[in-house]
Structure 1
């Protein structure tokens, strides 16, 4: 319950900030061009609001709605999510959105997206300034990588050190590396001190990202580093420095393989409704082999940890002014990756992977971590900016599309057309919202 509350608080805080910045972008340009803003709300307020106030001599009512699906900035003289069509039947007023030149209306509509993107760049810059950047370079992972069956069928071998994909150097183990592997036609690895070329088939990033065991992972040596008292390893007499040789007769070459075998044993035991299980383990100590029986606890743990390979991380630090170009580069790279991955949404597997608030909340850490919080907030700000600029009615991108049409055709779409377009767009968005959260429910239940 505590984990749920921590994640929920982070989610609400992050989304509230993003909504304020996004709607603030619309508000800023609207007031810059002397357009009246009637409401500025965090979250939606159908029927009632949790809080509202209107400063003296102000045209704008500020408030907090009860429906946490975003927020809105009600601008006079435009058809938006408020669907205030009665106002549009009145003669245009000079302070209304519809009375302003198309270029001003265009800036008002892209204001939210612009602010979200700039916010993401600023957050990334401040993360780099405050915490810097730290990672273990792939070339420094001397034990190489561990590959699953799919990767081995392609041609990878356990212990391979990843060098490049289609001539581009692979530097760190992250989603960008996985994306590069999925899109490459040729991958170069260092195997036994020699470079080897691996021809890649057409594979989907979405498919390999969901594989368990992972398509590629850091290879961990099959050496015990520590043993906790009263755990399965301790009771079996295993000690620090022991090398794991075989699990129930299956040879082990890495700690990764040991955890895979333990996971398969757990699944079999759960089918048989057993709360724990035993297995035989061959180990080596000072060159002498022995076999013991190990019993897991009721959570199928043996309470032992593997040896840390001892890789030295690459650390990058940034001064205040240095952090901004680095933050901009990081933000642009994040946007490129997200846009590139959008093609998977329109596949069968991609549709199943769409998630709602539960999925978004799960990306936040179980314990409060400011670096992780700000990193996730910047990423969500990138997503919000991109999704809102899509040319879909009811989104900012839909309004932008109609304004671009007006600039080219030199005539406005009719109010009736805009009203119907807004209704269709809202129907599509609510359908997507329901589908995404329905997927979350299915994942929770099954």
Structure 2
């Protein structure tokens, strides 16, 4: 059921964005009197489709291959590779008969709509829900530092005062793209000493392999255990398919362990020490437990005023299966009016667009691994197994801006590839030959298929911890 919910959200979000993207091409073509023959959600590869209908001179339908969508514009070399039509004399209502500037607008129509959709989504989310943020000045205990943060010189309990000399008001800015993509200098207060820590511009490559809290997070004071993971008989045994996949990928299946539950730890217990070391803060507890993977640890906890000793064996991932109860840091909320939400939403959309550009740039220069490219499988996981409208629209807005950027890339077959050839035509004052366009389309198709296979491979390997 969880998989169906994730897939359903992905299908809904991508379908909306694909339809709107293709609508941008469609409306621009119609505005210049260009004939559109087909408007499809998903591809009707090899002539197979789920359903279709014709209205006017346009065939509308849904294909069976959920890898995007398309509009077939008359007189244009595209993914349909309709060479028969191109062999006929050009007609005044065809794409190739129109001025280059009109064809350029048609090609940019989908990208422009994706940008507008992204801006509108972030605008409406800001207007409806405002913004919440963690007040950095109220982090009494400073920050909790993961392995990656420790590598660059940060320590548990440090307080971040500024980023590149600018006072840090919102803690979330310390784990935003302005730090993770561009690198930054953090002004740190450690005890009574002010220090400066440089964040390398390659840090995102390490963080992308872990969770953000493996870098820095607000520091929480340890209170009591809120949750203890207990065995679930329905998933305790591995499925037949799981065994086959594990064998294919060389991973030995390990039956899930429940150390805390087995040792007798219960919700409400207050942990005092681990292996004789006091654990005032959650990061101290986590560090001491994770340092003893596959080993027995001695935990002393307080239950109804009485000290009790437990001896769980830590899992291979450095956990014992407990969820702590701690007081969340103080947060602030800001509401915005309809008009003042617009520039904030536009800035969020533009920042997302720039982050995509920076990410691709870092991959090209080797500062970020291409293993971070995700397929629809990875995107579906991001939506999650619970339907949340705010999360749904936030992710859909992010994807809309990502689609705008990806389609702008100068790869034949994408809108950006067509734009490049149109710009060449405008500079040299004559169109690029149809043979070149046809071959470029084939090359672009091969590139896109390879990227898609690579992305799916990434997500499959990630699901097996590789």
TM-score category of the 2 structures, normalised to the smaller one: 0.7 to 0.9
- Tell me the residue number matched to 1:210: 209
Separation in 2 of the partners of 1:315 and 1:233? 42
Contact 2:412 2:440 in 1 (8 A): yes
Counterpart secondary structure, 1:268 = coil
Aligned pair 1:192/2:165, yes or no? Answer: no
Aligned pair 1:350/2:369, yes or no? Answer: yes
**Pairwise CA distance, 1:308:** 1.1
Once the two structures are superposed, residues 56-97 of structure 1 have per-residue CA deviations (whole angstroms, 9 ceiling, x without a partner) of xx1110000000000000000010011111111100000000
- Tell me the residue number matched to 1:272: none
Aligned pair 1:314/2:332, yes or no? Answer: yes
Give the TM-score taking structure 1 as reference length.
0.87
Contact 1:393 1:424 in 2 (8 A): yes
**Pairwise CA distance, 1:353:** 2.4
**Pairwise CA distance, 1:283:** 5.0
Q: Which sits farther off after the overlay, 185-194 or 173-182? A: 173-182
Separation in 1 of the partners of 2:415 and 2:322? 53
Gaps of 5+ in 1: 270-277
Contact 2:226 2:267 in 1 (8 A): no
- Tell me the residue number matched to 2:444: 425
Give the TM-score taking structure 2 as reference length.
0.84
Gaps of 5+ in 2: 231-259
- Tell me the residue number matched to 1:53: 53
- Tell me the residue number matched to 1:7: 6
**Pairwise CA distance, 1:37:** 0.2
How many residue pairs align between the two structures? 430
Aligned pair 1:244/2:272, yes or no? Answer: yes
Contact 1:220 1:255 in 2 (8 A): yes
- Tell me the residue number matched to 1:275: none
Within 5 A, what are the aligned runs for 1:115-126? Answer: 115-126=113-124
Aligned pair 1:72/2:91, yes or no? Answer: no
RMSD: 3.0
Aligned pair 1:165/2:163, yes or no? Answer: yes
Cα 1:157/1:253, change in 2 over 3 Å: farther
Contact 1:233 1:304 in 2 (8 A): no
Separation in 2 of the partners of 1:21 and 1:410? 32
**Pairwise CA distance, 1:148:** 2.3
Aligned pair 1:268/2:287, yes or no? Answer: no
Contact 1:165 1:180 in 2 (8 A): no
Once the two structures are superposed, residues 278-337 of structure 1 have per-residue CA deviations (whole angstroms, 9 ceiling, x without a partner) of 631245799x9956115489997555532214x321101122222212211111122222
Once the two structures are superposed, residues 229-276 of structure 1 have per-residue CA deviations (whole angstroms, 9 ceiling, x without a partner) of 997599458956x4533x2345535213323444565x527xxxxxxx
Q: Which sits farther off after the overlay, 105-114 or 141-150? A: 141-150
**Pairwise CA distance, 1:128:** 1.1
Q: Which sits farther off after the overlay, 293-302 or 256-265? A: 293-302
Of 380, 392, 397 in structure 1, the residue corresponding to residue 416 of structure 2 is: 397
Separation in 1 of the partners of 2:192 and 2:392? 41
- Tell me the residue number matched to 1:256: 283
Q: Which sits farther off after the overlay, 208-217 or 124-133? A: 208-217
**Pairwise CA distance, 1:43:** 0.4
Counterpart secondary structure, 2:141 = coil
Q: Which sits farther off after the overlay, 171-180 or 146-155? A: 171-180
